[in-house]
Chain A
Amino acid sequence: MMKMLRSKKGLDYAAVMVIVVVVLVIYLFIRLSAKLEPFEVRIGEYQVALLEAYQQGENALLFVDQAAKFSAYKALDTLAQRGGMKSDDCGTIIEKGRKIYAWTKHGADCTDSVQPYDAFGELMNGQMAVYLAKYRGAILPLNNYEIFVQDNSVTGTAIMPAIVLVQPPPKMIMAKFIGITIPWTTVQMPMAPVGEYDFKPSFTVNISTKISAYALLKKEVRAFYDCVNAYSPDECAKSSFALLTVSRSADNPDYLIAAANNPAKNPYGTMSDIVFALYAPQ
């Protein structure tokens, strides 16, 4: 009996209990950490992302309006340099290092190709594309407008819609080791877009285009060629033109260079005179 009482064999039990509790507690902590994930999605996150997508759409429309205004003036300037022509059906001549579109050439009358409204639409789309390609925050399609021009306004109707992605904010997550979240290791995880917001980026800009002036110039040119049937070109040049100033080309003596003041004015830069060439050999 005394031998049993003096035996220390049972004392190992307490130490073993402690070790077992330590192991169990660690295991329990890992399992609980894995199970009790906090609620990581903020309430209203997707709805706020949709509202912000709408705001980005409004920002894109602001950009389009301003780009349209600048593009219209640049298109008018280029149109004047091309003499209002949509294409170079009658070719071009070089006068003092400058390319000038011809309205007529030997054996051909291209005044029907003087389509300033169509030409302006193409030029306007081209100028808009330069700006829209640089925009960030929305996908703005290029060469996307049907342009309607009046003397005092330009309207661009969008064919394809612009797109803004509905993007929730990035998720902030902490690194984990064996299921245990490690603090001070926060990383930003970008979220995939959850949808799209589409809108048509049409515009109207109120500018004075005065494109109707090209029709008056065409009338004068037709009157000039009617006169040339009976008189010499240089004599007709003195009497046929009220709006146009005509002079014989120095580099191409068979051509007359016709120029008219551009009635459209550019508040942001220069506006070229309307210039074109007429075939009228002496």
Chain B
Amino acid sequence: MNRRAAMGRALTFIASAGVIALLLAGFFIASSMFHKKAEFDVTASTTGLKASGQLRLLVSVLADEISSGNYARVGPLVSAVYGPQADFALYIDASLVAGRKIGIPDASIDALLPKYDGSIAKVRLEVGQK
């Protein structure tokens, strides 16, 4: 038998097996990369719902003042309900009208309130910690 030919066939075989192994490895890596992982995510919690209820009560109590543009009582009421460390931001039609911007609020509520002149205001109240 020609030794060089035999060596050549053996090397060719090994190279082919190596290429096949690389292809299979690449296949499994691609499978894991492109398959979306299942997500388990419950987006609301009972704590969040209770906080929204409290905020809605706040907005209800202050509805007249908010509708007429008087926001003086918002801060004191927020402190009375959530404590002195509470911070708040009140937006009317996406403009900050009272309080200051909060990065990630602990609780927030979006509501529509009517005004006496017949228009509607979009109200957003956010509460967080100082």
Contact = CB atoms under 8 A, between A and B. Distances in A.
A14 interface: yes
Given A29-B27, A59-B112, A268-B116, A44 B42 contact: yes
Contacts of B56: 58-59, 62
A22 B23 contact: yes
A183 B34 CA distance: 7
Interface in A51-96: 51-52, 55, 58-59, 62-63, 65-67, 69-70, 73
B63 A42 contact: no
Contacts of B36: 38, 174, 181
Interface stretch (B1-9, B76-84, B88-96, B98-106): B1-9
A135 B114 CA distance: 9
A269 to B, nearest CB: 6
Contact of A59 (B13, B111, B116): B111
Interface residues of A, number: 51
Nearest to B110: A59
A128 B88 CA distance: 32
Contacts of A17: 16, 20
A178 interface: no
Contacts of A67: 114
B68 interface: yes
Contacts of A216: none
Given A42-B43, A66-B63, A136 B112 contact: yes
A13 to B, nearest CB: 9
A38 B113 contact: no
B37 A25 contact: no
Contacts of B9: 10-11
A180 B23 contact: no
A73 B115 CA distance: 13
Given A14-B13, A21-B23, A6 B2 contact: yes
A5 to B, nearest CB: 5
A8 B67 CA distance: 91
Contacts of B2: 2, 5-6
Contacts of A281: none
Interface residues of B, number: 49
Contact of B27 (A28, A69, A174, A181): A28
Contacts of A21: 20, 23-24
A181 B118 CA distance: 50
A18 B52 CA distance: 62
A67 B64 CA distance: 11
Interface in B6-30: 6, 8-9, 12-13, 15-16, 19-20, 23-24, 27, 30
Given A11-B9, A22-B23, A42 B39 contact: yes
A269 B115 CA distance: 12
6 contacts: A32-B31, A43-B42, A55-B49, A55-B52, A59-B112, A69-B64
Given A51-B49, A134-B120, 10 more contacts: A14-B13, A28-B27, A29-B31, A38-B36, A42-B43, A43-B42, A45-B43, A59-B109, A62-B63, A66-B114
Interface of A: 2, 5-6, 10-11, 14-15, 17-18, 21-22, 25, 28-29, 32-33, 36, 38-40, 42-45, 48, 51-52, 55, 58-59, 62-63, 65-67, 69-70, 73, 130-131, 134-137, 169, 174, 180-181, 183, 268-269
Nearest first, the 7 closest Cβ-Cβ pairs linking A and B are: A39-B38, A14-B16, A268-B116, A44-B42, A38-B36, A38-B38, A67-B114
